[in-house]
Amino acid sequence: MKRLDALIVGAGFAGLRALYRLRGMGLDVRVIEVSDGIGGVWYHNGYPGARCDVESFDYSYSFSSELEQEWRWSERYATQPEILRYINHVADRFDLRRDIFLNTRMESADYDEAAAEWEVRTADGDVFRVRYLLLCMGQLSAPKAPNFDGQDDFEGEIIHSAVWPKHDVTFEGKRVGIIGTGSSGMQMTPVIAKAAKHLTVFQRTPNFSVPAANAPVSDEEDAKVKATYAARRQQALNSPTGLGFKPNRQSALDVDDAEREKVYEAAYHRLGFGFALSYHDILLSKPANDTAAEFLRRKIVERIEDPKVRAKLVPSDHAFAARRPSVDSGYFEAFNRDNVTLADIREHPIEAFEPAGLRTSEKLHELDMVIFATGFDAFTGALLKPDIRGRDGQLLRDKWAAGPITHLGVGTQGFPNLMIVVGPGSPSLLSNVMVSIEEQTDWFADLIEKANADGIVEIEVDAKAEQAWVAHVNERAQETLYMTAASYYNGAEVAGKPRVFMPYSGGIRNYRRILESCAKEGYSGFTLRRAPAAAKDRVET
């Protein structure tokens, strides 16, 4: 049994950041990580074409200006290998590895009410007793895969994009199928198309996408950003989503067509994901959204030669960005190649695997390899896998059976001293997640610092506060178009999952102000105790 001040679960961007900060406070803290390497999703999503769709300068830590100055990004949108190199560089530079246990899966965590401690058990039988348990387990880290009839009889290879093998995967001479056209499927399509003998993309829902406008980072741009990095970070902090440029505060409906076209054209060629911020109301008003969606549909049409294929690829069943759009590098153009076929599985659903390939209601697609780019059990998938038991042995999974209940996305009543980093109910995937990670880990660190200074041993969310927060998260979501589409934002990605809105859509800046005022008010919505509630009860009875 190992006794610690804090245990962090997950060695991705969040876990490393939490380790750096908590260790810097003199706490005895460790990280456990189920994989055999650090990096979280960036360790596993090694599929061809994987890259970040937030600009490298913004998708990076801000806690060390030395780190900011010394790291040299090679491209505006970094590839997965480059991001993984960055993560490893950070781990080495700040000597983080010595406190990380790899190949260590948290199987259960039980709250000991009398001691105000968590007892964490790993799959290998190790036990940790800790005051604080920080869950840094990711929002898109529990891959989900279909289970078609006959799958085990398939004679080719099946790979999931989010569990990409560490050995070289070759496509030369192979007939490859990709199921799924979210960001992962759209990123890998043009790359695999170039290498494979034939590529079939199995599409259920056509998705919006904006070109990445990727480019090498020139020495000049690198120097310019580094000279004004602090201002760029401030800009990100004060933006709705944590991206490092100024959003337009105008309505898309307050300008004439020519002006709007000019703005969209410029954003389309330079801003990638930020296209959605061209006007402030793109995600708030359907008529405003229609202007952006119509512009993007025109652009998609221009990129595809065959009118029949084009008609299938143009998204028409959801508002732009109500589902997560992609930022692509040649996705639509890939369908102009002779060796690429689009299989519309909404029209002709997949029926089963056969030894030679995939049978749809139309025909057998003969394949040597099938890639599942089918996404994740988002937001709650990883958090609810282990048995996390709070007061009275209540399982987190039971408490959240009808959807996650949190105060500020950071904790939940009945599970004291449990801290969720970038959890449901926080801006999470509606933000540049690096900004959210740094903000929340620092907020937790300040809270722990205060608790230690004041002799606090138990920190618990109040029931009323979490009810009010869940209601607020829902109210904010209702102001947007997010609930108008079925997506992983609202639980539609997994059959039977509660259909509730998961992230907080009120924006990074609002959220930061809420966190700050919570702290200023002595952590309103939380009860901070100098003795465990259970121990007090015992004394009182």
Sheet holding 350-354, edge to edge: 350-354, 357-360, 364-366
Nearer to ligand N01, 23 or 324 (CB): 324
Nearer to ligand N01, 182 or 414 (CB): 182
Nearer to ligand N01, 189 or 417 (CB): 189
Q: How far is CA 76 from CA 217, 430, 497, in A?
A: 6, 20, 36
> Residue 370 CB, nearest distance to ligand N01 (Å)?
11
> Residue 323 CB, nearest distance to ligand N01 (Å)?
7
> Residue 214 CB, nearest distance to ligand N01 (Å)?
11
Nearer to ligand N01, 374 or 406 (CB): 374
> Residue 80 CB, nearest distance to ligand N01 (Å)?
9
CA 524 – CA 465 distance, rounded (Å): 8
Nearer to ligand N01, 27 or 140 (CB): 140
Q: List residues binding ligand N01 (CB under 6 A).
A: 51-53, 140, 146, 161, 179-185, 187, 204-205, 324, 345, 373-376, 429, 488, 493
CA 54 – CA 212 distance, rounded (Å): 9
> Residue 107 CB, nearest distance to ligand N01 (Å)?
26
> Residue 207 CB, nearest distance to ligand N01 (Å)?
7
Residue number, nearest CB to ligand N01: 182
Q: H or E stretch including 468?
A: helix 463-478
Task: Let me know how many helices (H) and strands (E) the chain has, helices first.
Answer: 16, 20
Nearer to ligand N01, 373 or 410 (CB): 373
What does residue 170 show for φ and ψ, rounded to 5 degrees? -110, 145
CA 42 – CA 12 distance, rounded (Å): 8
CA 323 – CA 204 distance, rounded (Å): 14
Q: How many residues does the chain have?
A: 541
CA 460 – CA 415 distance, rounded (Å): 7
Give the residue from 278, 274, 237 showing the smallest Cα distance to 77.
274
Strands (E), 136-208: 157-160, 175-179, 198-203
> Residue 127 CB, nearest distance to ligand N01 (Å)?
34
In the DSSP assignment, the letter for residue 226 is H
> Residue 524 CB, nearest distance to ligand N01 (Å)?
32
> Residue 444 CB, nearest distance to ligand N01 (Å)?
24
Nearer to ligand N01, 141 or 441 (CB): 141
Tokens of 183: 């960001």
Nearer to ligand N01, 181 or 291 (CB): 181
CA 13 – CA 16 distance, rounded (Å): 5
> Residue 87 CB, nearest distance to ligand N01 (Å)?
14
Longest dimension (CA), the chain: 79
64, 70 in Cβ contact below 8 A?
no
Which own/partner pairs from 255-262 qualify as long-range (CB within 8 Å, at least 24 positions apart)? 260/291, 261/295
Nearer to ligand N01, 411 or 503 (CB): 503
In DSSP terms, 376 is beta-bridged to 143
Q: Tokens 């290498």, residue?
A: 195
Nearer to ligand N01, 33 or 328 (CB): 328
